[in-house]
Structure 1
């Protein structure tokens, strides 16, 4: 079987959960003999592929183009929705009315994508319930939970401790951005004397500067790191905190 995965153009440069989900799905499908290609283009020939697998319902402009290309060429597509309704976050955050309208404006395209899919692949039953509340969904679905590599479970703290000299700290892993809400964590820990380690790429320069300005000497910022080091960081930490405004559940 030949499968084409399609996702946003910056899935490598702007590494996020959808990037990891797609890459790991590809890795394990190939282990059972399925041929998988990845493309970020919405105009390529799909002749050699049996099915198209599209990732991410949130960034609609690119994803919608993939679905239209598949439909034009008579190819079925599966959709890993990776979706959450951002309405409350947009309303309660520092966003303009224009941004709120931007989110609502594209919902009819999302509904069209959902109902033209051969199957929907949410990460959880909760995500499926959100999709049903938000859209008139008529398509069949199958929940595909997010997983973790085994080496995270077996990881030892030694590598991280030897490099950074820290243990029993508060860990927060995720790209530095408003939605991930690291600034709230930094402010909450002020005066506690607790060490906090924030691992993730800078996704918003202004927000990153705010976090750095608010952080004390007990905060350590680390950019992306190899998985084996990240696993060691989890093992060395006392607790992991994810203070995001929302996450797609899985």
Structure 2
């Protein structure tokens, strides 16, 4: 079997994040299952030579490529990586769904992309519900995961950066792109009120936002850390992991924090069910409320909850194999 991957590679890898990790791990598991993987290179012959086309993200400019797939009887899948909360996009999708303006709105191409896919593969129940609200699509949830490398990586305090060692575990940790969507500014304000250091890890996606964060005396920025053992050790060291993003689907790093049984404060936007339902050491918040972020962190820092010996987390080997099964089903039954 040969699969063609379509992905917004240039913009995605300018600041690598969860979508890129999901792509890489999917390809890794596909190859382990003897599936040949190629990237779309703007050549029609590349698509024609493949059995299946797989789009990552929901982007309007994918639709002409998807139309070509339909014309040449090439089934395609969409790992949607989609969730919207802003009024502008919500109105656009509503109009595209309810009126005959499909051709006039770019979001209509995303609706077409979903509606004609063999399968749309959202990460969460919230994402799935939003997609089905706009498109008549066949969906199946494939969850975000942590990989075997992270599970098996050593926790080694000698790997801690000096800036972390001196805190002796008394800090709140956030990992993600430095940008408005990740909402670190409200988090910094809450941590300042609580007189607790906030450690940030991730690429600087917006200089003026980064500059505002650096005005806080309690904020420590470590840059990007992709060494698995170092990252795991820092997560294990923190007192609380916070991800108050304006939306998450659901944030691979939050699952990694859950695996280490850390206390977590996380956004209510975009996650849905299936990731943290069984986890006691967590509190969800309205990411737009500074007071709610502050109160949640304060409560979680003082509360002592029942110890959890084991937690269940999804792994790529099992989740991505679902995609392999869908591929086979698609090719064998012409769905």
| 8 A contact 1:56–1:79 mirrored in 2 | yes
| 8 A contact 2:92–2:107 mirrored in 1 | no
* Mapping 1:11-160, distance limit 5 Å: 11-39=12-40, 41-45=41-45, 46-57=47-58, 59-61=59-61, 63-88=62-87, 105-133=105-133, 135=134, 137-154=135-152, 155-160=154-159
Structure 1 residue 73, shift from structure 2 partner: 3.6
Q: TM-score, normalised by structure 2?
A: 0.64
- What residue is the counterpart of 1:188 in the other structure? 190
| C-alpha distance 177-23 of structure 1, shift in aligned 2 (>3 A) | same
- What residue is the counterpart of 1:161 in the other structure? 160
Three-state SS of the structure 2 residue aligned to 1:179 is: helix
| C-alpha distance 103-232 of structure 1, shift in aligned 2 (>3 A) | farther
* Structure with more helix by fraction: 2
**Residues 203-234 of structure 1: per-residue CA shift (max 9 Å, x gap):** 11221112112x21x32112211232222221
Most deviating of 43-52 and 23-32: 43-52
Choose 1 or 2 for highest CA Rg: 2
Most deviating of 156-165 and 20-29: 156-165
Three-state SS of the structure 2 residue aligned to 1:187 is: helix
Most deviating of 47-56 and 228-237: 228-237
| C-alpha distance 125-192 of structure 1, shift in aligned 2 (>3 A) | closer
Whole-Å separation in 1 of the counterparts to 2:188 and 2:94: 29
- What residue is the counterpart of 2:220 in the other structure? 220
| C-alpha distance 85-162 of structure 1, shift in aligned 2 (>3 A) | closer
Structure 1 residue 26, shift from structure 2 partner: 0.4
**Residues 148-195 of structure 1: per-residue CA shift (max 9 Å, x gap):** 023434541514435442442211000001111101111111143312
Q: TM-score, normalised by structure 1?
A: 0.84
| C-alpha distance 172-128 of structure 1, shift in aligned 2 (>3 A) | same
- What residue is the counterpart of 1:96 in the other structure? none
Whole-Å separation in 2 of the counterparts to 1:111 and 1:85: 14
Name the Cα RMSD after superposition.
2.5
> Gaps (5+ residues) in structure 2?
96-104, 250-270, 276-335
Whole-Å separation in 1 of the counterparts to 2:178 and 2:158: 24
Structure 1 residue 48, shift from structure 2 partner: 1.9
| C-alpha distance 239-112 of structure 1, shift in aligned 2 (>3 A) | same
Three-state SS of the structure 2 residue aligned to 1:4 is: strand
Three-state SS of the structure 2 residue aligned to 1:152 is: helix
| 8 A contact 1:170–1:241 mirrored in 2 | yes
Q: How many residues align?
A: 235
| 8 A contact 1:42–1:66 mirrored in 2 | no
| C-alpha distance 78-167 of structure 1, shift in aligned 2 (>3 A) | farther
Whole-Å separation in 2 of the counterparts to 1:69 and 1:210: 46
Whole-Å separation in 2 of the counterparts to 1:18 and 1:111: 20
Whole-Å separation in 2 of the counterparts to 1:197 and 1:49: 45
**Residues 62-120 of structure 1: per-residue CA shift (max 9 Å, x gap):** x33432342344311100111112324x69xxxxxxxx869974321111111111111
Three-state SS of the structure 1 residue aligned to 2:3 is: strand
Three-state SS of the structure 2 residue aligned to 1:131 is: helix
Whole-Å separation in 2 of the counterparts to 1:26 and 1:68: 24
